[in-house]
Amino acid sequence: MTDLIHDLRAPVAEPGTGQVRTGTAVSRVDGRAKVTGDARYAAEHFAPDMLYGVVVSSTVAKGRIVTIDATEALALEGVVEVMSHLNRPKVRSFDISYKDMTAPAGSPFRPFYDDQVIYSGQPVALVLAETFEAARRGAALVRIHYHEEAHDTRMTANLDKAYKPRPLKAGYEPPPPEKGDAEKAWQAAPVRIESEFHHGVEHHNPLELFASTVIRDEDGHLTIYDKTQSSQNSRWYVSHVFGLSKNKVTVRNPYVGGAFGSGLRPQYQLTLAVMASLKMKRSVRVTLTRQQMFSFGHRPETVQYVKLAAEQDGTLRSIMHDAIAETSQIEDYVEVVVNWSGLLYACDNIKLGYKLVSVDQYTPIDMRAPGAAHGMHALEVAMDELAYKLKMDPLALRLKNYAERAPIEDKPFSSKELRACYSQGAEKFGWDQRPLEPRSMREGSELIGWGMATGVWDAMQMFARASAVMHVDGRLVVSSAATDIGTGTYTVMATIAAEAMGLPLERVTFQLGDSTLPVAPIEGGSSHVATVGSAVAGVCDKLRKTLLRYAQSAADSPFRDKRLKDVEFVDGALRLKKDPRTWISLASIVGATGRDQLEEKYLMLPNMLKQRKYRRLVHSAVFVEARVDEELGIVRITRVVSAIAAGRIMNTKTASSQIVGGVVWGISQALHEESHTDHRFGRFMNHNLSEYHVAVNADIHDIDVIFVEEDDRIVSRLGAKGVGEIGLVSVSAAVSNAIFHATGKRIRSTPITPDKVLMGGP
């Protein structure tokens, strides 16, 4: 080893040359692959003998399949099979209640289980053909006769049937017990408001269609490219449903073209593609149409009731928040909708309630900021109403009731820089120039309003494994079965590893999206950086110790008696802090071992004993300018300032992109998005991108993102929290409040469409 230690007079590289640091703006390492088309998605993998599957969807919302006539379809050139419940292969667990890793309480939907139809759009047959075109045409030729039964998809007409859910869904917290006597305090307070809110169904609509490509090897091994937010969840699902050893199934999702929660659960095209591959003993791809993307999961329709009471000086005396949401007839899908009202403002009397109504629809599914997107909207619009009844500035009311500890459970916060969000956001926006009275600002034909709202979301950490391999050529490969749904996971994890090992980013590769890699949680809930990032930091720490140990192995090594604190990893080398001219390249350390590589593995487990002592949250303050043409009812959102407290920011570029995307979606939620059901048929009618309205470029103007300084070592060893969800939370409330400030009209349902603006409600 002695000859590998560089001469003391060797030239010294400047510290940090060619290296990256967390907390800076780093461009996506996967960006080139995506813009050049090198990145391949679930429906872009091929096999020579591949069959193409197209799903036939039910046209009734409830009933039974009487006959399936596939004669015309099978007569079509290229069509080889029409599969249904009548001829599917046997599966292991369809006779028991099967649950995937994110399943709520109940009995999950089982495609092709029997002749029963439980919702409109349910898959009832699969046409398999040598070409996609033949399969698509064949699907149109399958004739199905149903015995139709009465259905009911009207959630608001069945509020009297609401019930408390079975809270078995992972990550769900039922509303806590009442604090104080909220009703009594509300009745006794001098200033009170009472409001009802309605939020329609929303659908995720990621650009990449859901698809599963099953490539079958000669030995029967299945390599599946799936549109999913967890390769390991899909692999677990396939293994359990079909009774296959995990060694017989590999699931990959290296690139995901958006998901927003729609890929948390394995969707039915995965089940059907595997069924078809096992039946036909060939490779199979099943891709859903845009219309079929509306046939599984959505943000549920929700009705909320909020009652607030305060003293004349704005001190909150009572918070009551109840929500009723839809679910399916087979599962109790639950969200944390009302709990946020017990976490944000100091109050001695808080009462929260949450119930469900079952309808003949598919089970809802998590959608970006599930629960908080609706729950925080209601609370923050109600706070705005209370501020006006008090004749008090809305920001001043929030500061008056600022909570230093989590109100309903009396826990300290792991960190909370919400005051900084308020002050920095307000200063950037110019909030101090805002007149209190509505209809005070006008420019031309447009009324101008300024609104604000507070956002909150959980700062979660789960468990994960990671491996790190230092190769003899100086390359570092770090691996974990994480997912990148466009959030920047590739880039952030590579940056964490590069900084830890003192390597330029181009010498680091982060591997994800493969079920054979070290275990990682589902990519959801804004937890990946705090979880997988901490695992990456942990495994790099182990690798640093290993490299130092090997560098110490020679008797005359200048590193022999040195500890990790005495050395630094810079520019691909290990060197002494006090004598930077004494260094050795990491590649040389590996080479001296006689091996091609050195590998370490690490299991990251949250310190739950410590974490449970705190309430761990991310916060935001959103300020919005709305311009309203009162004659046409058209609303334009011309300025948004979003101030975020989310711990240490690992990559300011990708994090800012996440917040901007969340703000865009919040504007879309407030003004555009809703799936409309024709209850005569129990069917979503605007199930396409031409009629399901989303915000487009012309709807978006100036968006400023501020990250306030925060460092939370309780949530993660990195000090990081998460930014995926918080960018969306309460944007719609701030938009609604700005519209009220502009027009004096309080609209309590979303989306706030021109007709509601013209009518002044509801």
Return the active site residues. 725
First to last CA, the chain: 77
Residue type, 470: M
DSSP strand pairing (51-57 vs 284-287): parallel
Q: What value, to the nearest 5°, has the Cα angle with vertex 700 and ends 699 and 705?
A: 155
- 252, 226 contact by CB (below 8 A): yes
Phi, psi of 505 (to 5 degrees): -60, -35
CB atoms within 10 A of CB 458: 24
Rounded to whole angstroms, how far apart are CA atoms 756 and 466?
Answer: 51
CB atoms within 10 A of CB 692: 21
Sheet containing 446-458: order of strands: 441-443, 446-458, 617-629, 634-645, 702-707
Please answer whether residues 328 and 682 qualify as being in contact, where contact means their C-beta atoms are separated by less than 8 angstroms: no
Give the DSSP letter string of 16-58.
TTT---TTB----TTHHHHHHT-S--GGG---TT-EEEEEEEP
Instruction: Report the alpha-carbon distance of residue 284 to residue 275 in Å, rounded.
Output: 9
Long-range contacts at 180-185 (CB < 8 A, ≥ 24 apart):
180/348, 180/349, 180/350, 181/349, 182/307, 182/318, 182/319, 182/320, 182/349, 182/350, 182/351, 183/318, 183/320, 183/351, 184/349, 185/309, 185/317, 185/318, 185/348, 185/349
State both tokens at 46.
């091929």
Give the residues across from 320 on adjacent strands: 307, 351
What are the CA-CA distances from residue 696 to residues 215, 689, 717 (Å)?
37, 11, 39
The pair of structure tokens assigned to 427 is 């200063």
Q: For residues 459 and 552, give the distance between their C-alpha atoms in angstroms, rounded to a whole number.
A: 40
Query: What is the DSSP code (8-state) at residue 429?
Result: H
Rounded Cα gap, residues 330 and 299, in angstroms = 17
**CA angle centred on 165, ends 164 and 170, rounded to 5°:** 145
DSSP H or E segment with residue 268: helix 268-280
- Measured in degrees and rounded to the nearest 5, phi and psi for residue 708 equal -80, 155
**Comparing C-alpha atoms, which of 580, 693, 553 is closest to residue 635?**
693
Beta strands in 572-652 (DSSP E): 573-576, 583-585, 597-604, 617-629, 634-645
CA 469 – CA 463 distance, rounded (Å): 21
Determine contact, residues 53/135, Cβ cutoff 8 Å.
yes
Distance CA 503, CA 282 (A): 44
Residue type present at position 703: I
User: Which residues, listed in sequence order, are joined to residue 705 by a DSSP beta bridge?
Assistant: 642
- Gap between the Cα atoms of 560 and 553, Å rounded: 7
665 in helix, strand or coil?
helix
* Alpha-carbon torsion (377, 383, 386, 391), positive or negative: negative
Find the helix or strand (DSSP H, E) in which 69 lies. Answer: strand 63-69
